[in-house]
Structure 1
Amino acid sequence: MRQFGTISVGKRDDIGETLIADGLAESQRHRDDDEKSARYDILVAAESIAKAAKKGMHSEKDYGTRNVNDLTDPKKAKANAGSLIGNKKLKAIVEYIFNGSRFKMYIPSENCYVVFALSNVRCPQPNPSSYARSQGRAAEPFGEASKRHARLSVHQRSVEISCSGMTQGGVVTGDLMIGSGANKRDFSLELVMAGLGYVDQRRIDYGEAPKTLVDAQTSAKAKKLNIWSIEQKKEEVQAPKSKEEEEVKVQLSEIRSGNHFFYHVVGDEAIKEIDDSMKKFTEENGTSGAPCDVKVGKVVAALFDGSWYRAKIVEKKESSTVSVLFIDHGNLDVVKVSTHLRPLSDELGTDKIPPVAKEAELILTIVRSTEDDYGLDAARMLNDVAWGKELNARVYYSSEGKSYLTLTDPSDDSKSINETIVAAGLGRVPKQSEVNAISKKVSSGSEAKKLATKFAKAQEAARTSRSGMWRYGDIGDDDDEDF
């Protein structure tokens, strides 16, 4: 059953009467047998006076439609980032609560809507909205409690925000103050003190989190308030370390992204052996396909650019095609089974000649997908600085057939290519927890941590100068979330 009531504020006995008298609302029409407010006759009289005075909605004046700039769209948000980000404080009205630290706001001075998130604090996810495009994300413990606290504290209220950055997804980040005068308070601090939010671990790792927030979190943890009342996940069991780090000269044979590639070891005699053997195979068999066993994982001969190469079938596609990995070079292709595949000679099997292309990733260097502009720029930079050169590779460890390494150009060994990509703002360093996990896989864990510290300095310089992905300020973990 819906309940109705009268709201009084200060000298105003009835907020409803004030709205009606100003022509901003109408009285509810009732049937004779309906239960009515004791002040109903007063409300009807106020409406009659407002109509006679042609106030508000009763006016015959055409006020037109007010267009508000909707900056919840990522492209529009980035285009207008300059007018929002800075040291100025802005008044805003909270229109919607996504979770305890993420909101949709209206900023009157800029006449725009934005999605705003607290820059230093994260909150557990609540139940997905019934209007959300995806219902797959499960609620986290205390997500609803955190959202409810935000709704009771800031929803449909005037707040003060300071915008310090923008995520790749167009979310404005910064600080949020609620209340006024002597009662003004930091909403981030309030969440952390109540155990309904936690300080972004990356901010703590990089020394960027305000001490007041860190101290508040420490206190909430000690008291086991809300999210801290649940036992935290233990760190994963230590992975086996590589026996020793390896240094080799390499040449790239395929680039997949800004940190993922395949390489040949310079001086590996097997490279020439397999090249010569496959040239002979092409001469003997021509370029026509032949029936062969098409199973995922099977190594066959696949036609590429008029020649046969060893390839592993990685996926069956539609229309009698398969996706293959050319194991001696690292490139992928989709080929037609009937015309581009044939069985491989026994003497060319991987048990006789192992694949000569080695898969690798730049250690401690995270880049975006090549579908993203900054990810594509990272891949282009790797191509520009590494392709066609003999490079020094230091392999720190290997896992599931992939080596994790640094690349250095012998002509300039003062900085690795890993660091160069991070310094350009096209890559970033993993969180400290990930660095710790990686260091356990390396024979010299302290060396890995020193490397991470060095890369972090390059990252900070890129962030300060707003290079690459840092162009709009700090990036968040939730760039790709649906709102």
Structure 2
Amino acid sequence: MEVEVEVESMDKAGNFIGWLHIEGINLSVALVENSLSKVHFTAERSSYFKTLLSAEEVARQRKDKIWANYEEKPTEEVAQLSEEKERVAKYRPVCVTEITDGMHFYTQEVETGAQLENMMETMRAEIANQPPVEGAFTPQRGDYCIAKFTDGEWYRARVEKVESAAKVHVFYIDYGNREILSSVRLAALPSAFGTRILPAQATEYTFAFIQVPQDEDARADAVDCLVRDIQNTQCLLNVEYSGSTCPHVTLQFADSKDDVGLGLVKEGLVMVDVRKEKHLQKMVTEYLNGQESAKSARLNIWRYGDFRADDADEFGYRR
């Protein structure tokens, strides 16, 4: 197995301190995310610190493995203790760059947007001065590279699969989109623009409190609505709970602060995923009220009434 070692510093004994990447995955983040490790204070100066903290918070809320017996430290003031049991909303600005057919989406952090833009400008200028030799790069699964997108510009990417020289599957690590292209449109990623200089900027999420429709037409309607409303726009994001593949979040429109997912429910485009966690019950109730309104108005998936009793499984929903 090929791995990538990203060195950040060196200790007094001359040992390297850094990160281990396996097929594009930061092993430290993966260990924290899967409740197998905790964030050490020495990571504070690292570019991965915020990612590690987010992963630890998600793992802590899941309360398994090393967090199985974790309890919040008691506070002296009853009022403050009561607040800790409530849902904590820490919305941060992100830009939605890609929405998948499965209703997952990718975002970039707004605070590092300028850094990415500057890197892309510098990288493209360097490529223009010294164009890569066509066919000189032999792609292998897990390789970081640069790829020429359909707009004619070069972007950072990771090779996900190689069918042949004419069919290479790549993932654009800063935007979240995928493409199949010829190896002649790929080149080695210059070290000056690698992930150790600026980590991959696209982060995958999915919506909290929502059941993704299994029916293709229903899902396509919901995805079309999302593409129209939020793709390539700035939103506010809050992580609500963890998932098997990525965190589940709520999104708000940056201007109105309206909940994007709740809007889908109110339009009758999706059904509510009822969570059992106590601190989420206020949100669940709000979503269920929105669902009842859509059902009463017979909007979209409710156009023929409440189908859940007889054929919920057929449409890919659970009651």
TM-score (norm. length: structure 1): 0.43
Amino acid at match of 2:109: V
Structure 1 residue matching 2:271: 3-state secondary structure: coil
Q: 1:345 to 1:411 in 2, by over 3 A?
A: closer
- Alignment map for 1:363-374 (pairs within 5 Å): 363-368=208-213, 372-374=216-218
What is the CA deviation profile of residues 419-457 of structure 1, one whole-angstrom value per residue up to 9, with x for unaligned ones?
001111111112x4xx23xx4xxxxx51x2221221111
The superposition leaves residues 203-224 of structure 1 with CA deviations (integer Å, 9 ceiling, x where unpaired) of xxxxxxxxxxxxxxxxxxxxxx
Identity of aligned pairs, percent? 24
- 2:237 aligns with one of 379, 393, 404: 393
Q: CA deviation at 1:273?
A: 3.2
**1:324-473 pair list within 5 angstroms:** 324-337=170-183, 339-368=184-213, 372-398=216-242, 402-413=246-257, 415-430=258-273, 432=274, 435-436=275-276, 439=277, 445-446=278-279, 448-473=280-305
Query: Mapping of 1:73-222 within 5 angstroms?
Result: none
Larger radius of gyration: 1
> What letter corresponds to residue 302 of structure 2 in structure 1?
W
Q: Which fold has the larger relative contact order, with Cα–Cα distance below 8 Å and residues 6 or more apart in sequence?
A: 2
Partner of 1:286: 131
Pair 1:349–1:400, CA change in 2 (3 A): farther
Cα distance between partner residues in 2 of 1:478 and 1:401: 23
1:316 counterpart letter in structure 2 = V
Aligned equivalents of 2:109, 2:299: Cα separation in 1: 33
Match of residue 37 from structure 2:
none
Pairs within 5 Å for 1:7-46: none
Distance 1:419 1:292, change over 3 A: same
Q: What is the CA deviation profile of residues 259-307 of structure 1, one whole-angstrom value per residue up to 9, with x for unaligned ones? A: 3211122231432233223322431343653433422222111111222
Aligned ranges for residues 300-319 of structure 1 at < 5 Å?
Answer: 300-304=145-149, 305-318=151-164
Residue of structure 2 equivalent to 1:479:
314
The CA deviation at 1:318 is: 4.7
304-313 vs 269-278, which moves further? 269-278
Equivalence for 1:260: 104
Using the alignment, how far apart are the partners of 1:270 and 1:245 within structure 2? 27
The 2-side partners of 1:396 and 1:472 are apart by: 32
Q: Does 1:270 align with 2:115?
A: yes
C-alpha distance after superposition, 1:20-50 (max 9, x if no partner): xxxxxxxxxxxxxxxxxxxxxxxxxxxxxxx
- Residue 396 of structure 1 deviates from its aligned partner by 2.3
Q: 1:258 to 1:471 in 2, by over 3 A?
A: farther
C-alpha distance in 2 between matches for 1:330 and 1:361: 13
* Letter in structure 2 aligned against 1:386: I
In 1, Cα distance between equivalents of 2:203 and 2:121: 19
How has the CA–CA distance of structure 1 residues 289 and 472 changed in structure 2, closer, same or farther, with 3 Å as cutoff? farther
CA contact (8 A) 1:282 1:307 kept: no
**Take 2:227 and 2:212, find their aligned partners in 1: how far apart are those partners?**
14
The number of residue pairs the alignment matches comes to: 231
2:46 corresponding residue in structure 1 = none
Change (3 A) 1:480 1:267: closer
Structure 2 runs not aligned, ≥5 long: 1-61, 73-87
Query: Given that residues 258 and 382 in structure 1 are in contact (C-alpha distance below 8 angstroms), is that contact kept between their aligned partners in structure 2?
Result: no
TM-aligned CA deviation for residue 375 of structure 1 = 1.3
CA contact (8 A) 1:300 1:311 kept: yes
Please give the per-residue CA displacement for 1:64-90, whole angstroms capped at 9, x wherever unaligned: xxxxxxxxxxxxxxxxxxxxxxxxxxx
